[in-house]
Amino acid sequence: MANRKMAKTFMPVTVTSATTEAGSFPKENITDRTSPQRAWRSTSIAADQRVVIDLGTVQTDVTCYLDYVNFGSFKYQESADGSTGWSDIGSTRTVSKDPMHGVYRRVDDITMSSKQYLGIFIPVQTPVDSADYFRIGTFCAPSPVLELDAETTVEYPFDVALPESYIVENRFPGGKTEKIKLGSLQPMVISFALKTGAMQNIKGAQVEEIADMLRDGTGTLWLDFNLGETWQAYLVKKAGELRASVTTPAVGTADFGTVLMEVVVEDYGGQPAQ
């Protein structure tokens, strides 16, 4: 069984340009990992679109994650200056629908030729939701990515009830808050268990790595099931307690129990609550 992949930090990136952008859905929205419902939208589907991302420095190996998109195919491209000399990174990539969550998303490990600018190139096509625009909810580059050195199982979903008001409140550093009205897509909770086999407890540095990853319940984590499905990765927040049992006589070993992860919820409307 493949080990799960996780990350708690992300490469600092900025979106420098987009071929077109709707006034209420600017390109900068895609780097906001806390509210994927605030997306970028193009103003046309009749022409190719490119969203340009500055990765900060030249890069070679990058994990790229796209969430809540409405196009079925795209290409990653690279450029030295973000304006000229664009070349494809691999071939056309197909975006698949998460059958459990109803969202189109994709994770890729790409190899760049020491370039700083990444392009998301969307060719002319009919959006999967028949909209008159293309959409990207979130782009992020988790780094570093930790492949958990333990046998793990993942189960989903649990039944989760929406608040009666259908309104959630996002809180930001500095005290700013905003209220978002949820759409038809319900929250989903992933049951994530770090279960070790007999006499194969997690040891030493791996205990510290996993505990550090899961201890803080306030931050957004990236979780990849790593089972060969490009849609099976999520931005999540820890929703349950972190518990671990320590096995004696070995020192520094642990057997983690079930940890609940709640997927960061997208909203089909993407509109602030009134």
Omega of the bond prior to 157 within 30 degrees of 0, cis?
yes
CATH of 7-145, one of 3.40.1170.60, 2.60.120.260, 2.40.50.100, 1.20.58.110: 2.60.120.260
Examine the pLDDT at 187 and tell me if it is beyond 60: yes
| CB-neighbour burial class of residue 218 (10 A; exposed 0-12, middle 13-18, buried 19+) | exposed
- 22-58 pLDDT, tens per residue? 999 999 999 988 766 678 999 999 999 999 999 999 9
The pLDDT assigned to 96 comes to 96
pLDDT band at residue 231 under the 50/70/90 scheme:
very high
pLDDT band at residue 133 under the 50/70/90 scheme:
very high
* Residue type at position 209: E
Which of these, 220, 56, 217, 78, lies nearest to 138 by C-alpha position? 220
| CB-neighbour burial class of residue 164 (10 A; exposed 0-12, middle 13-18, buried 19+) | exposed
The pLDDT assigned to 119 comes to 98
15 or 190: which leads in pLDDT: 15
Examine the pLDDT at 162 and tell me if it is beyond 80: no
Q: How many residues does the chain have?
A: 274
For the chain, which residues make up each domain, given as ranges? 7-145, 153-263
Contact (CB, 8 A) for 68 and 36: yes
The pLDDT assigned to 263 comes to 83
- With a CB cutoff of 8 Å and minimum separation 6, the contacts of 131 are 45, 70
121 or 100: which leads in pLDDT: 121
For 75, the token pair is 């290409």
The pLDDT assigned to 34 comes to 75
